[in-house]
A and B are shown apart, each in its own frame.
Chain A
């Protein structure tokens, strides 16, 4: 296996708000190989976007990376000067964002915004910039690129704006492209086109892609490997087949069971995950999923499970794992998914899911 292009070790990012310290990302570690497609999945507020922003040093006050290392080509991005980091942003690591309307500057022409990314770094010869801007728009399949490049963002459709964003991201031929919910704001048909575009670009340019999404279908369509995040931590990691076919963390399992699937057999009931993610200011003891987990055991309330190998290339952070839940708790047939329903564990004073809604600080940066 080749050396990873990006290796994140033990990353923690917190937001210091008036209401308290929001521990948005805690001890996250993962790596990306050159040319790899990695998906990061989780609910809004699970810290997936904050993780990506931390990599590029884009976390704004009151947020701050409090610990960890982000190794990119052997350098820790957290130790670089602002100018050194600026040189990597958009040049070696590019990022595209969720809402292509708000992510493009409304008062500047689309072409200008694409060219500007190239002028900012000296990777593309400046006399080739304008030609490349048009070529890029063609590459992301914007028709009539020569004319449209002079348009303003509001003259583009949603899908075209996202294409322009992607063109901008690709303009400096980055080694890594981070796509934060690139399809969420788009129609379903356009979503498919954008995913196809990303897949083609990955194959053609060899750029590694980190795809951040809450939509499991999107991950299945593009990624080879998947990270599942919950409440600021990685709870499971594996190949896309492993995650979809034999998830080992109850959260991943619940997530998959809650998505309607066209290929599911008719007897297969949709199950919900009861309760809400924990308040990131005041986290529960032990496993962070214990207030919502049907398979929890006593140990889940006291000790945080470490992420451990559960199969070749698959890791999960769970004291029970689904293998045991299937074998001992009848996970294959349960219909009641309330906390502790399958395991029968209801510790005194903890039997009910938190009643109050967590404060609206769950996702202070994006989503």
Chain B
């Protein structure tokens, strides 16, 4: 390694690659720490998660209760920091519950997409042949269909409920993940170390989960992060249309919808969910960008 036998210095490459492998994760975290936007996003999201957790045990009022002797469309005031809604419910309590719902839907959908997408993608990418053909044809046919249309139909079939919303959104979102993982598996399969593992008698399962998966973890995590804002946005929109979280549960989308109707009377009611949704989606997008720059330099955009 230390001996250079010709004046041409291509021998450099070997050493650099070896170093890159070892330091990939450490370098990634270093890059992430330097990304101020991603850090700010992370702090915001941490606070949001805390709010959602607090909302499990405590909210200022019961978010679903129509408070007696309370004015509707009350602006921000001492008793109700964010005011009250069209029925006289406390908006802060409803917003806290909305945070809970958005996060559950976002993270839950991402988890479903991650599981289904990774398994299907790995199977297609590793085994190839007819299995891959069937999966690819299926994905190619449905890839172009707007997810929201499918989600609307599926949600109506499945019926109301948080879990069903997640399934309805995952119904199309998993395909992106599967395509990504399949591509990764295809390229990693060709590398020497997989060849070596196979030659030394490693079983398919071990190669899949021991080699291919860890080596494509970066792009997978990035993709999974980007699923979260999409899911939150879709849920908010479904609820906005009245096709989402059933009343009296509060979703940011349904609060926005009620606020939109009340816009001429009271802009505040639209303001809170609008700000909360925008900030949350921004934060997830910034975090995703930061993760991508940090851990997935190849597809940096």
Touching chains A and B, CB distance < 8 Å: yes
Q: Are A45 and B2 in contact (CB under 8 A)?
A: no
Q: How far is the CA of A210 from the CA of B16 in the complex (A)?
A: 31
On chain A, the residues within 8 Å of B8 by CB distance are 43-44, 214-215
B191 contacts A by Cβ under 8 Å: no
List residues of A (262-318) whose CB comes within 8 Å of B's CBs.
Answer: 270, 272-277
B299 contacts A by Cβ under 8 Å: no
On chain B, the residues within 8 Å of A45 by CB distance are 9
Further 17 A-B residue pairs, CB within 8 A, beyond A43-B8, A360-B12: A44-B8, A44-B9, A44-B12, A45-B9, A216-B7, A255-B7, A258-B5, A258-B6, A258-B7, A270-B5, A272-B3, A276-B2, A276-B9, A357-B12, A357-B19, A362-B9, A362-B12
On chain B, the residues within 8 Å of A270 by CB distance are 5
On chain A, the residues within 8 Å of B15 by CB distance are 357
The 6 A-B pairs with the shortest beta carbon distances in the complex, nearest first, are: A357-B15, A272-B5, A44-B9, A360-B16, A43-B9, A255-B7
Q: Are A277 and B5 in contact (CB under 8 A)?
A: no
On chain A, the residues within 8 Å of B196 by CB distance are none
B78 contacts A by Cβ under 8 Å: no
Q: Footprint of A on B, CB under 8 Å?
A: 2-10, 12, 15-16, 19
**Chain B residue nearest to A277 in the complex (CB):** B9
A contacts with B: majority SS:
loop
Q: What are 8 A-B contacts with C-beta separation under 8 Å?
A: A43-B9, A44-B8, A216-B7, A273-B7, A274-B3, A355-B2, A357-B15, A357-B19
Q: Are A274 and B7 in contact (CB under 8 A)?
A: no
Contact of B4 among A274, A355, A362 (CB under 8 A): A274
**Chain B residue nearest to A42 in the complex (CB):** B7
**Chain A residue nearest to B11 in the complex (CB):** A276
On chain A, the residues within 8 Å of B3 by CB distance are 272, 274
On chain B, the residues within 8 Å of A85 by CB distance are none
Q: How far is the CA of A287 from the CA of B188 in the complex (A)?
A: 45
Contact of B6 among A259, A274, A275, A362 (CB under 8 A): A259
On chain B, the residues within 8 Å of A274 by CB distance are 2-4
Q: Footprint of B on A, CB under 8 Å?
A: 43-45, 214-216, 255, 258-259, 270, 272-277, 353, 355, 357, 360, 362
On chain A, the residues within 8 Å of B5 by CB distance are 258, 270, 272
Q: How far is the CA of A276 from the CA of B5 in the complex (A)?
A: 11
Q: How far is the CA of A362 from the CA of B11 in the complex (A)?
A: 13
Shortest distance between the CB of A346 and any CB in chain B (Å): 16
On chain A, the residues within 8 Å of B4 by CB distance are 272-276
**Chain A residue nearest to B1 in the complex (CB):** A357
Q: How far is the CA of A120 from the CA of B198 in the complex (A)?
A: 58
**Chain B residue nearest to A215 in the complex (CB):** B8
Q: How far is the CA of A181 from the CA of B8 in the complex (A)?
A: 12
Shortest distance between the CB of B219 and any CB in chain A (Å): 22
Shortest distance between the CB of A258 and any CB in chain B (Å): 6
On chain A, the residues within 8 Å of B10 by CB distance are 44
Shortest distance between the CB of B264 and any CB in chain A (Å): 52
Q: Are A214 and B7 in contact (CB under 8 A)?
A: yes
On chain B, the residues within 8 Å of A355 by CB distance are 2
On chain A, the residues within 8 Å of B12 by CB distance are 44, 276, 357, 360, 362
Q: Are B2 and A275 in contact (CB under 8 A)?
A: yes
A360-B12, A360-B16, A362-B12 as given contacts; A353 in contact with B7, CB under 8 Å? no
On chain A, the residues within 8 Å of B19 by CB distance are 357
Shortest distance between the CB of A27 and any CB in chain B (Å): 22
**Chain B residue nearest to A43 in the complex (CB):** B9
Q: How far is the CA of A339 from the CA of B5 in the complex (A)?
A: 14
Q: How far is the CA of A43 from the CA of B7 in the complex (A)?
A: 6
**Chain A residue nearest to B10 in the complex (CB):** A44
Q: How far is the CA of A255 from the CA of B8 in the complex (A)?
A: 10
Q: How far is the CA of A244 from the CA of B69 in the complex (A)?
A: 101
On chain B, the residues within 8 Å of A216 by CB distance are 7
Q: How far is the CA of A235 from the CA of B223 in the complex (A)?
A: 51
On chain B, the residues within 8 Å of A259 by CB distance are 6-7
Shortest distance between the CB of A218 and any CB in chain B (Å): 12
Q: Are A353 and B2 in contact (CB under 8 A)?
A: yes
Q: How far is the CA of A271 from the CA of B3 in the complex (A)?
A: 11
**Chain B residue nearest to A260 in the complex (CB):** B6
On chain A, the residues within 8 Å of B6 by CB distance are 258-259, 272
**Chain A residue nearest to B4 in the complex (CB):** A273
On chain A, the residues within 8 Å of B9 by CB distance are 43-45, 214, 276-277, 362
**Chain B residue nearest to A184 in the complex (CB):** B8
Q: Are B7 and A357 in contact (CB under 8 A)?
A: no
Q: How far is the CA of A45 from the CA of B12 in the complex (A)?
A: 11
